[in-house]
Structure 1
Amino acid sequence: MPEPTRQLPLFGLMAAIALFLIPEACIARKANRDCGSSMCGNVEIRNPFRLTTQPSKCGDRRYELECDGDNRTGLVMKNGRFYVRNISYETRTRIFFSDEGVESYNITYESYRMQAIDADLSKDDNCSLPRNSFRSDDLCEVPYSLGSTSSTMYLVNCTKPMKSSSYINASRCSTSSSHLNASYFYFLHGETPAGKFDESCTIDALVPIMVENISGMSTSDIYRKLLLGFEIDSDLDLRLALHDCYEKERPFQLMLQSLLYALQTYADSFVYFLFKGPHVFQNTLYAPRSTNVLCVGVTGGVILARYLLGMCCLLALVTYKWRRRHLSADDIIENFLKRQHDLMPIRYSFREITQMSSDFKEKLGEGGYGSVYKGRLRSGYLVAIKLLGKAKANGEDFISEVATIGRIHHVNVAKLIGFCVEGSKQALVYDFMPNGSLDRIIFSEESKTVLSWQKMFDISLGVARGIEYLHQGCDMQILHFDIKPHNILLDENFVPKVSDFGLAKLYSTDDSIVSLTAARGTIGYIAPELVYKNIGGVSHKADVYSFGMLLLEMVGRRKNMKSVVEESCQIHFSS
């Protein structure tokens, strides 16, 4: 057996490699989780809460808070921003009993309670509206629970005054606005069913308030309660739910923690056989000499595995960079999304889109753009998922759709809930329309739905309002260029929604004439000036012409282009 002194250089190198192999990040992550307490103004912040300025190993990122220049503690959620006035910590013990009623075990845990206020209400103008929403329906994303003394209410934006007692005026100050673009803000009880909402109103926020029900309260009473803030609680049930989320989201980290003891035992044996000293981690018996060979063999095997893994990662990185260099359309879309910081729609991964649609099980329709499938969010809300085909996945239609419909909200315009873009896989998530598109009702001879003339008039008026909003209701005029029954969707109450903005263009409201390099639209609905340049410039009247063709089709109950007619002049309505 060689002398121990001759083995030191070789074993020194092996020891350094072995220590490098131990996942220090996993060990430190658990040991340095509690970094003590810190202050932001009068608010004490300690584990599990953390500030954005603290090291990443401190606290839990789900409980991240901000400390601004005025020493105010900010709580930033997906749909809103709040200021935390106080956090109280309390140690509690819960006793669990068996089925026979005998005490089996107890758990001691730390509970906390936050007092928060809407960030918009802390302004000095006394006219601000509470536009920040508090949603805790998904504990895996929002680890907060509204206090038992608090509830939520809707802040709705209406285009006309509401005379119902259920609508409580939300405006504290009188504001001057034009008659056409007037907005009226009201508060509604948070448990108001969807069918009770007036069609002229849209939801701006789900506002927390420290009362059980706002019915019968005045505007001043509601704001007095809002300025007192609201409570956010945490109990053991919430912690257990969050632990289930952690197990689902981070199984690899939990596996590393379960291997921690085995790694410590390995390092202990290695150091012991290196220096012939006492055991570092535990008191164990003297191991046989063959363990030395085993440690060296395991270390060499791990080094080889790390080398092969590194080569595979490097190869994958080079392949990824090469593919990204040749996918210019993806870069265009990503740059566009980075510039649109104010987009309301949510960005989903393609895996989430697949889960929503149950692997694209139920198909609703198909067209030149791709296919539409029925889906369901985790909250149970039904959606329609438009999966763009490869022929349309060049980025232009996708950007046009998100850039236009992503920034507008109107009762007669389809609502874009979210989108997905992963390479050539592009999808748009809309509200689900139970009654489908208008063409299925007015063209199909097999349709069981027969609309009255009054309902047809209401649908026509709703489409006109949607088009008028696109032309004059936004800071930019939006020209649709593809108004037709196929792109008019009907909800459960047959309220029309203008959809499919793949051909839309945005222009300044000052431009009466717009420039196009080529005609766009569907044959039979295209305005003449889009085809014949010598009869006039292209303007918003192109959509008005298409809308006129749509009206004639609704009255005639047939398509504009009809192959079998009594006279040739009846082929086109315009003839």
Structure 2
Amino acid sequence: MDISLRIVIPSLLLFVLFIVDIGEGHNTCPELRCRAEGPPIRFPFRLKDRQPDQHCGYPGFDLYCSHNNDTVLELPTSVKAFVKNIYYESQLIVVTDSDNCFPRKILRLNLSSPPFQFKNYYLSNYSLFSCTPDKESPYLISCLSNFSTSVYAFFSDDDIDDLPILSCTKMYTVSSVPDVIWNLPSLELTWSEPAKCGHCERKGKKCRFQNNSTDLKTECFPNKGISRKIVTTAIGSILGSFLLVLVVYALYRVYRYDKAEKENQARIEKFLEDYKAFKPTRYSYNDVKRITNQFTEKLGQGAYGTVFKGKFSNEIHVAVKILNSSKGNGEEFINEVGTMGRIHHVNVVRMVGFCADGFRRALVYEFLPNDSLEKFISSVDSKLFLGWEKLQDIALGIAKGIEYLHQGCDQRILHFDIKPHNILLDQNFNPKISDFGLAKLCAKDQSAVSMTTARGTMGYIAPEVFSRNFGSVSYKSDVYSFGILLLEMVGGRKNVDVSTENTSQIYFPEWIYNLLEQKEDLRVYVEDNGDAKIAKKLAIVGLWCIQWHPMDRPSMKVVVQMLEGEGDKLTMPPNPFASTGTTKINVSMPTRRLNQELEVILESE
């Protein structure tokens, strides 16, 4: 807070209190409260720890504030009760016990003498008995009972032979108490003296001792200060002006904050831009521990390592992937650093730096707060469904990211592991491709790459990665994985039984193709026709991408154009599940596509 406000606010509050004091007629015994929502305390009551002057209260009407700012009344003899309300016009005070159990203090509670009496209750004498818990009586005292013993209050003048007390022990007898005291949490007490104060309050006046009175006589007195209306108007004007000043100040602070925030964003962007021109920063393992605060916040864990949240400052957060030293020969680390150090695209995760400290290896990325796409398309929780327009935006962003990998770099980058788990979402749910551990580099004019082993995740791997029968491995392999991802985005909302029994009879992409070919509804959860068109477009593009032979699949540039265009203009692709020219493929299950003799494609790096 600025120093000017530190001066203005206290001064304004003092002025308001001054106006209120004038409105109270310069009363030397002003109305007080223990807390803002507590009962008002004025004559005949006195808050003795704040009003030491005895003439501010009638004898026996002393109150005080507890350490929790509760209003406390001490009843005869030494029974402390919390004050809930004081009704001055009817001369009534409502009190509660500190532990909601007045019966526990009944022996010490003596209201036979002034100033307080029970409200117009019917008073009776009671005998208290401790019994086994099986006795039934309307006078069970809950707060004195427990699981092994029940305490009952019976009328003392009842014939003892009529009472069910064979298994009871008499505790004690109390006199002249109301029946409500046994189980109600609060009591209503009245006072008869000073009687005149209630009359004063009903007339809209206040009560006080008569001047120079020696026999406790009281009198009414009017409010001689400024009228309440004037006081209210003055306070309203002051507070209105104060609020106006606050609004202007708040707007100024927002402007200052916005300006500072833009400068911070520019500084952050410049920080990230530095890594566009230079290689990612190399950190020591001690740096990594400091960035992650000793690996305090774990974000997730995979086959190759564990991801922790870290930060360089309050503005810059990162995700730090600690690679398992026992996994692989460091190829994934080399791929990640060698590939991502040259990538800069809005739909590809940025690598900020890396650590290669002996056997300890780590990768430092920008932090994306909304987890992966898999969370939002595989969850059965409808609240996590992003909506079809957002899914279309996400699909287009992924496609642009893959197109950049294929065409936007000096060398073509083949990802080989496109799947929902590797698509991360930023604070605005913009997609970013991550995890380049399986990536390969090749020249842009290179039509095929060699492979010694299959790369990727089952279900997303293109057929040619397994067998030369389907063609050569190329950038079209990523197109196939993207097509499966698109169909999975549609299938995340599918209405089909995928039980163990059914999975042997249905393959979801083929089911999608058959529905579209027969011009039937996709049976996905849609809000309107616009949603249905989006779902259909994503499905058709996905089916084009998963054509069996790589040459039949579109490039990612064409895929982007298809996603950006009108879905009604898209034509249905050939059936990718029909028999190939040389081999009959059983497509009843995804795994059966692979049940043939595979010709290994040799790799020469």
Same fold (TM over 0.5): no
Q: How high is the TM-score relative to the length of structure 1?
A: 0.41
* Rg comparison, structure with higher value: 2
